[in-house]
Amino acid sequence: MLKVSCNGSDRVQFMAQCGFAGQPASVLVRRRSVSAVGFGYPMNRVLSVRAIVSDRDGAVVNRVGAEAGTLADRLRLGSLTEDGLSYKEKFIVRSYEVGINKTATVETIANLLQEVGCNHAQSVGYSTDGFATTPTMRKLGLIWVTARMHIEVYKYPAWSDVVEIETWCQGEGRVGIRRDFILKDYATDQVIGRATSKWLMMNQETRRLQKVSDDVREEVLIYCPREPRLAIPEEDSNCLKKIPKLEDPGQYSRLRLMPRRADLDMNQHVNNVTYIGWVLESMPQEIIDSHELHSITLDYRRECQRDDIVDSLTSIEGDGVLLEVNGTNGSSVAWEHGHAYQQFLHLLKLSTDEGLEINRGRTAWRKKASRL
């Protein structure tokens, strides 16, 4: 993998290369001051308007992009692809983002997915308040909420590795949208992970789900691929497989987990990535020591507030027995492309008499590669 030194001049050179290498040919049309508050831009902000040109025949494609003028916009290592229908960004894995295996944690991966999704939304003019809302949604007080997240990691990047993530959206029936991701090792162009997520629309005041109206759908679909594009071929994955509810008590548990202030997002709710950490808290230590996480699927069912107390429950899926996966075909082991994975079911619930369900999940774990 590509390694980046800590030398300041090297970093500047790398950022310059990443910021401009592979960018679409563009024509600077004019500079103008705009007052586009409805699209999340500050008043009187100077934008460079670019007509994106196809390298194939020199024709201007069907949208005009605005190159934002803030320092963050200029230094961010990301941009829309040539056709404007997906977004790519490069990230350097920091020392504080790796865990006990000396590689990026799954929480790091999830945080990067969240970051690239937000940056994609901002790049096409959606709101900058963390909700990625369209003009019609803001007018009606509607926001997006996560319904399901599925992440697969084939190879975890290490400290100083550079990861490139591509993301795009598309319609998902009448009630939501789907956002997909592909993660690559930037040095080798090898796919090291994939993810898909489903988002529903909620009224911010009533907290009730609402169908996606035609007006909102039109505002979203203009930035989506014309034909369905799936990061994970659904016939080869259990990303859509139903997750049964885990009965209490689980085989393994961590009780009375409490949100820290650092777990709250900009909207004063527990961040989606925090749930991943809570799920993993109740994993058996022998699996943590001998396996690494291959995939995680989470169904989000209830918001968690800062004063809530949470119980994390885990059980082995299938016959409930930990197995040596080499050479076995036990019911608690899933097979995919000739590889065996130990699977677990998870439940996050409020630590109250009612035990209201917050989140249910499934994880699949593969044996760690033996070290020479």
Q: What is the DSSP string of 247-308?
A: PSSPSEEEEEE---GGGB-TTSSB-HHHHHHHHHHTS-HHHHHHEEEEEEEEEE-S---TT-
Q: Judge whether 38 lies within some domain.
A: no
Q: What is the side-by-side order of every strand in the sheet holding 45-53?
A: 26-34, 45-53, 60-67
> In a 10 Å sphere around its CB, with 0-12 CB exposed, 13-18 middle and 19+ buried, how is residue 107 labelled?
middle
The yes-or-no verdict on residue 294 having pLDDT over 90 is yes
Do 99 and 151 share a structural domain?
Answer: yes
Phi/psi of residue 301, nearest 5 degrees: -120, -20
Catalytic-role residue among 269, 271, 272, 346: 269
Q: Is residue 125 part of a domain?
A: yes
- Three-state SS at 183: strand
How far apart, in whole angstroms, are the C-alpha atoms of residue 122 and residue 131? 10
CATH of the domain at 123: 3.10.129.10
Which range, of 95-99, 108-112, 124-128, 324-328, averages the lowest pLDDT? 324-328
Buried b (16+ CB within 10 A) or exposed e, 40-54: bbeeeeebebbebbe
Q: Which residue out of 7, 101, 203, 267 is catalytically annotated?
A: 267
Domain end marker among 182, 210, 232: 232
The answer to which of 70-79, 89-98, 240-249 has the lowest mean pLDDT is 70-79
Specify the 3-state DSSP secondary structure of 350.
strand
Domain count, the chain: 2
Task: Identify whether residues 96 and 153 lie together within a single domain.
Answer: yes
Q: Which listed residue (291, 304, 346, 359) is catalytic?
A: 304
Respond yes or no: is residue 267 known to be catalytic: yes
pLDDT of residue 339: 66
Please give the DSSP secondary-structure letter assigned to residue 246: P
339 is catalytic: no
pLDDT value at residue 35: 29
The percentage of the chain sitting over the pLDDT mark of 90, rounded to a whole number, equals 49
Distance from C-alpha of 285 to C-alpha of 189, rounded to nearest angstrom = 34
Q: Where does the pLDDT of residue 45 fall: very low under 50, low under 70, confident under 90, or very high at 90 and above? A: very low
Name the domain boundary from 232, 250, 283. Answer: 232
Residues 199 and 106 in one domain: yes
Q: Are residues 220 and 305 in the same domain?
A: no
Q: Domain end: 199, 216, 232, which one?
A: 232
Report pLDDT for 34.
32
Q: What percent of the chain has pLDDT above 70? A: 74
Q: What is the pLDDT of residue 371?
A: 59
More confident call, 233 vs 140? 140
More confident call, 190 vs 328: 190
Q: Which domain holds residue 167?
A: 72-232
What is the rounded average pLDDT of the residues 80-91?
A: 95
Do residue 83 and residue 204 come from a single domain? yes
Label residue 75 by pLDDT band (50, 70, 90): confident
Range of 161-170, 221-230, 232-241, 262-271 with top mean pLDDT: 161-170
Q: Is 304 a catalytic residue?
A: yes
Whether 220 and 282 map to the same domain: the answer is: no
